Structure 1
């Protein structure tokens, strides 16, 4: 008898059990304190349609590991394994998986916004249009 193949929901649940899941209040507090890099990992069309949390850097999920790895030719300066990083997506699934991936790349102070942008806006927090 074979073991059932895990679903994407299983992968997300496993990732969430291994990472820091922040509330909208916690993320807002971190932003207000400063020194955090906020990364929006949604697709470009989502960003255009729904806006972003003020100050967020856009890095689509498909490129996050390449942008985050200092040894990658695609590395972006906004990403630092030594810095404080918070990721978010639309509802928290993709950002949970991406946060786990950054941990695997050596990021130690990385977390995600649990519930994503949907939770952020449901709590009445502002978004801004992407330039």
Structure 2
């Protein structure tokens, strides 16, 4: 049995989802109808810091937090916002956004280049040990 390469899955997902540039996300970060969603592991947040105001939704719970029929549903995901998911470098977020799109979630995108792109573009970061 051949395993499909993770980076091939990322490439395919990226072709089917919207990607927002770090510069655009920085411009829109204070817009009340725009929410950055950090799907990184809690250890990554502790080590690298976080984007102020971003909502943390760990990747492992994402589908369950999005599904209104799930006992783990988070009402924030029922709000009328543009949800922009990100991880460290836009791999996990690409696959996540594609999965959520397949579940029927609308008005979603990923942050191009992820948290590293945000940092590189000069976006604000709080906390972290590597700051």
Alignment TM-score, normalising by the size of structure 2: 0.89
> Structure 1 83/34 Cα, relative in aligned 2: closer, same or farther at 3 Å?
closer
Task: After TM superposition, give the deviation of residue 32 of structure 1 in Å.
Answer: 3.2
Secondary structure of the 1:87 match is strand
Task: Give the conservation status (yes or no) of the 8 Å contact 2:13–2:98.
Answer: yes
- Partner in structure 2 of residue 96 of structure 1: 94
Task: Give the conservation status (yes or no) of the 8 Å contact 1:22–1:113.
Answer: yes
Say whether 1:48 aligns with 2:46: yes
Task: After TM superposition, give the deviation of residue 114 of structure 1 in Å.
Answer: 1.1
Task: After TM superposition, give the deviation of residue 50 of structure 1 in Å.
Answer: 1.0
RMSD: 1.8
Say which of 61, 64, 69 aligns to 1:63: 61
Match runs of 1:119-130 below 5 Å: 119-129=117-127
Alignment TM-score, normalising by the size of structure 1: 0.89
Count of residues in Structure 1 that have an aligned counterpart in Structure 2: 128
